[in-house]
Chains A and B, each alone.
Chain A
Amino acid sequence: MLSDNEKTHWKRTTRLMLTHLAVWFFFSFVIHMFVNTLNQFTVPLLKFPLGFYMAAQGSLIVFVVMLFVFAWQQDRIDRQHGVAEDD
């Protein structure tokens, strides 16, 4: 059977996964559903229509940053519960 420690570890891991899944879903789909509304705004300095910018660059930047943040957060959870690998 799993110890309480291991159960909390998995619970927190699952919660982290769901959070990132939600952010992923928002930047993959939800925001692009409003492309026409967003296109009425212009990115300052760069002069992109905002809706186009979010699809061509904005979402991609979010994905890259998200992956490093996820790796860091998950590692922290693993360490706190003593299930991380040795360094």
Chain B
Amino acid sequence: MATAQAASAAFYRQLGRMYGMYTGGFLAFIIFVAALEWGGLQFGIERAGLNRIIGYCFVFFTLAVYAVIGVATRTAQVSEYYVAGRRVPAFYNGMATGADWMSAASFVGMAGSLFLQGYDGIAWVLGWTGGFVLVSILVGPYLRKFGAYTVPDFLAFRYGGNFARFLGVIVLVCCSFTYVTAQIYGTGLIAQRFLDMDLGLAVFVGLVGILLCAMLGGMRAVTWTQIAQYIVLIVAYLTPIIYLSYKRYGLPIPELTYGQAIQEIAAREQQLVREGLAVLCTPENCAAGTLKTHIQPFTTWTPLNFFGIIMCMMVGTASLPHILMRYFTTPSVREARVSVGWSLFFIFLLYFSAPAYAAFSKLEVYTNIIGNHINTLQPWVFTWGVHDGLISICGKAASSLQAVRDACAAIPGHTGIIRFQDFAINTDVIVLSTPEIAGLPYVISGLVAAGGLAAALSTADGLLLAIANALSHDIYYKMIQPLRPVGRYTVVVVILAVIVGSVVWFLRGVAGPYGIGVELRWVILGLGALPPLVVLPFWFGMNDVTKRLTVARVLLLYVAACSAALASTRPSDILAMVGWAFSLAMAGNFPAITMGIWWKRTTTTGAICGIIAGWGICLFYLVTTRYFPQFGVTWAGMTSLLNPETGRPLIDLTAMMAPNSKWVDQWPALASNPMANRVGWFDLNNINCGLLGMPLGFLVIYVVSLMTKPPSSEMMAYIDEIRKPRGRTVLEEKTT
């Protein structure tokens, strides 16, 4: 034991040295680029060209670092590939989990939601932090003691067999795939804005970065790159607001000073209303364009939906496979618990700063834009206005001063003073534009772009790995390989047929409208066929371990390509997609996992019925309200959601369901259909569909378990083993 302990202490010190040097190197790089910018300006290099060079520097330098780490930590061992050899110390695992957790939605989107929704946006902040308490007290340490490689592994063991495993894989793939598509889309958005690339191309550039990290080294490589990515993203997130806070209040701790900013916002809001520059949202009139005060609760969400989001995001945290699997990598159960604490600490650093971002930029907009004449607009407004109208004034994209003048002149009686309802900003812009709003050098903008990229890449890595691991470990290794040769080949051929069939269907039917030409379709088919053709000649000479890892890598490649293809079709509303992923994970996984650990009497039949019922109703609610609202209204008794402030229905269903309405015959409903996402039961937004699924899941598991025969005494003994930290993992015991 003593030697192992000494070895792990040495390993720990070595990690500290390496990441210390890395952080120093990164800071030196920032200073170097800053010097470059200063020097470039001295020698009269044109501003726009210089900015672009700085953007490229940051994006490619950081990508190169991740790739080097990814290649350097490649591995050919199964336990290294799936769980990083189970020797990641609690502190570093916490950092890696932080990066795994914080996605493009957290980094880029959250401060924007807080800006627009004020108090109500805090539901996301609360929901995405408190869940770690549930991870630690209910789930994580017990799964670590169990010794699984994946979450379905646990379900299969506890609920006797491959049917439970299969259900677990379906839940995992559905929620992770929804989530990863949003990440790759976010990567593409950042690359597009800072490198001026076409979105489709940018998505694939980001993809290459992701694959370099994850493909060769699996969990091991992802762990060490995620730590590097965490350092980049936290430095990038905090630098601009620390500076802003120091400039405005003389104290470089924004979390302490933004209370004053909130007071000033409240005063300014009242002033705007008094001067007739804004109309206050009241229970009588709360139309679009009215002002919702920053600290007033329940103006965007009704209390039910506000607390629903908190509940769903928290429980979803404790059910998302890519997060749970991070705690499989610690050396011990004790370290797994401490590691959850460190994870939340590192996440907390960003999340409790996000409201400060929102408050500072809101104050800036309220004082320097609203209530001022259009001639005084700062240049940064137009640099964002030209990109797809991310900022619009007087209802038109603010691409130049002339465009703004023309747009406002078209409004009768407009005096040229910008009113509250004249100004609109896309939520994704808040964080990315803060350095420019604050008048910081462009090097800080480049840094923020690199941070956003790190956030999106690290989450995408973790998710892709979770999906590919489930497919290679659970489906291939545990379900297909043990079959007899005839059965094995049949299954493989059927799966291949389904995959090839759906790809051909995609390319023939769907690809056309998205502008994927005939040549490109052949290229895609060719690239898709390449990995199996490369692998095939070697296949029969491989041993089982190599076969397993090869399958894992090829599948990782395919999953990544599929989600990139989906992302390049520009799905809308990232935040909602992420919310769905949480609700699906919550309804499908949480009841079965927690009851499997905490209630010995839970039976296989009970758990399987519970997963199907809970997850089924969640999926039904989601799909119906999003894609088939007409069906929901006619057959499932759904009604319009209500406006939280006025309590009146959001949409006029009688008019929309009338036989001559153009919306009623739209199957499935497009995003532009006013009924999509706006109908439901009990005024429940479909982000919160887990609120229907989880209680039902618990109930069904409880009732059905009591009706069926109790689990064997052998199984009960295994559960007792899971509950005690001492001893070998249960899986090891079972296999030896």
A: residues with CB less than 8 A from B are 2, 6, 9-10, 13-14, 16-17, 20-21, 24, 27-29, 32-33, 35-36, 39, 43, 46-49, 51-53, 55-57, 59-61, 63-64, 66-68, 70-71, 74-75, 78, 82-87
Contacts and interface: CB of A to CB of B under 8 A. Distances in A.
Given A51-B297, A68-B338, A6 B724 contact: yes
B125 A85 contact: no
Interface stretch (B33-41, B200-208, B257-265, B550-558): B257-265
15 contacts: A16-B137, A17-B137, A28-B126, A55-B125, A57-B355, A60-B126, A63-B129, A63-B348, A71-B136, A74-B141, A75-B334, A78-B724, A78-B726, A85-B725, A87-B1
Contacts of A78: 334, 724-726
B341 interface: yes
A82 B134 CA distance: 25
A83 B341 contact: no
Nearest to B332: A85
Contacts of B132: 63, 67
A28 B255 contact: no
Nearest to B333: A85
B5 A48 contact: no
A85 B334 contact: yes
Contacts of B341: 64, 67-68, 70-71
B157 interface: no
B340 interface: yes
Which applies to chain B's interface (DSSP): helix, strand, loop or mixed? helix
Contacts of B723: 10, 13
Interface in B118-134: 119, 122, 125-126, 129-130, 132-134
A66 B723 CA distance: 21
A65 to B, nearest CB: 9
B307 interface: yes
Given A36-B297, A52-B295, A56-B352, A87 B5 contact: yes
A52 B351 contact: no
Given A24-B133, A64-B348, A70-B337, A49 B295 contact: yes
Given A64-B341, A67-B344, A55 B134 contact: no
Contacts of A21: 137-138
B618 interface: no
Residue among A6, A9, A13, A84 with the highest chain B CB neighbour number at 10 A = A84
A83 B725 contact: yes
A53 to B, nearest CB: 7
B726 A35 contact: no
Contact of B119 (A35, A66, A67): A35
Contacts of A17: 137-138
B256 interface: yes
Contact of A53 (B5, B133, B259, B260): B259
Given A28-B130, A48-B259, A20 B310 contact: no
A61 to B, nearest CB: 8
Nearest to B336: A71
B432 interface: no
Given A13-B723, A21-B137, A61-B352, 13 more contacts: A10-B723, A16-B137, A55-B122, A63-B129, A63-B132, A63-B133, A67-B341, A68-B341, A70-B136, A71-B334, A71-B340, A78-B726, A85-B334
B450 interface: no
A2 to B, nearest CB: 6
Contact of B337 (A2, A39, A55, A75): A75
A32 B309 CA distance: 13
Contacts of B297: 35-36, 51
A9 B130 contact: no
7 closest residue pairs by CB, A with B: A67-B341, A48-B259, A71-B337, A47-B259, A46-B259, A83-B724, A55-B122
B129 to A, nearest CB: 5
B589 to A, nearest CB: 18
B310 A28 contact: yes
Interface residues of B, number: 47
Interface of B: 1, 5, 119, 122, 125-126, 129-130, 132-134, 136-138, 141, 255-256, 259-260, 262-263, 295, 297, 303, 307, 310-311, 314, 332-334, 337-338, 340-341, 344-345, 348, 351-352, 355, 598, 720, 723-726
A35 B681 CA distance: 26
Contacts of B262: 47-49, 52
Nearest to B359: A56
Given A28-B126, A29-B310, A75-B337, A67 B133 contact: yes
A62 B311 CA distance: 17
B259 A43 contact: yes
Nearest to A36: B297
A70 B130 contact: no
A31 B710 CA distance: 40
A82 B129 CA distance: 33
A82 B726 CA distance: 8
Contacts of A48: 259, 262
Residue among B137, B355, B720, B726 with the highest chain A CB neighbour number at 10 A = B137
Contacts of A61: 348, 352
Contacts of B310: 28-29, 32
Contacts of B724: 6, 9, 78, 83
B337 A74 contact: yes
A68 B129 CA distance: 14
B338 A71 contact: yes
B259 A84 contact: no
B260 A47 contact: yes
A47 B136 CA distance: 34
B607 to A, nearest CB: 20
Residue among B133, B262, B310, B337 with the highest chain A CB neighbour number at 10 A = B133
Contacts of A84: 334, 725-726
Given A71-B337, A86-B1, A57 B352 contact: yes
Nearest to A67: B341
A57 B262 CA distance: 14
Residue among B119, B256, B310, B311 with the highest chain A CB neighbour number at 10 A = B119
A60 B129 contact: yes
Residue among A20, A28, A46 with the highest chain B CB neighbour number at 10 A = A28
A59 B130 contact: yes
Nearest to A46: B259
Contacts of A53: 259
Contacts of A56: 122, 125, 352, 355
A67 B126 CA distance: 15
A61 B351 CA distance: 11
A23 B267 CA distance: 35
A82 B725 CA distance: 10
A66 B125 contact: no
Contacts of A85: 332-334, 725-726
B344 A63 contact: yes
Contacts of B263: 47
B282 to A, nearest CB: 16
Residue among A17, A56, A59 with the highest chain B CB neighbour number at 10 A = A56
Contacts of B259: 43, 46-48, 53
A51 B119 CA distance: 10
Contacts of B130: 24, 27-28, 59, 63
Contacts of A60: 125-126, 129, 348, 351-352
A23 to B, nearest CB: 8
A64 B122 contact: no
